[in-house]
């Protein structure tokens, strides 16, 4: 096979950079994401707490989760609308 052609730019954001952000927004849609959303927002194991998205905790910024009903279907706690 051949290598891809053209210029490809990449940007890597580490947990440290994300946790210094003024705002981090997760936009999640679809029933296929419901279990992962529940594991991140309502962790029940160390494995859940170690998921990269679960480690996003902006020190002085905002953390916002926007979910459609399908993505939120696995949550047990009431969330503001």
CB 37 within 8 A of CB 76: no
Predicted confidence (pLDDT) at residue 5 exceeds the cutoff of 80: no
What integer pLDDT is reported at residue 17 of this predicted model? 95
**Please, which residues have CB within 8 angstroms of residue 52's CB and are 6 or more apart in sequence?**
15
Q: Give me the long-range contacts of 40-44 (CB less than 8 A, separation at least 24).
A: 41/65, 41/75, 41/77, 42/75, 42/76, 42/77
Note if the pTM is more than 0.85: no
Tens-place pLDDT, residues 24-69:
999 999 999 999 999 999 999 999 999 999 999 999 999 999 999 9
**Those residues with Cβ within 8 angstroms of residue 39's Cβ, 6 or more apart along the chain or in another chain:** 48, 51, 54
With cut-offs at 50, 70 and 90, classify the pLDDT of residue 1.
low
């Amino acid at each position: 096979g051949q290598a891809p052609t053209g210029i490809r730019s990449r940007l890597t954001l580490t947990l440290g950079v994300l946790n210094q952000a003024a705002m981090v927004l997760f936009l999640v849609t679809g029933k296929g994401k419901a279990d992962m959303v529940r594991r991140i927002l309502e962790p029940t194991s160390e494995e859940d707490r170690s998921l990269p998205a679960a480690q996003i905790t902006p020190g002085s910024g905002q953390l916002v989760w926007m979910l459609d009903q399908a993505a939120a279907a696995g949550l047990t706690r009431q969330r503001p609308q």
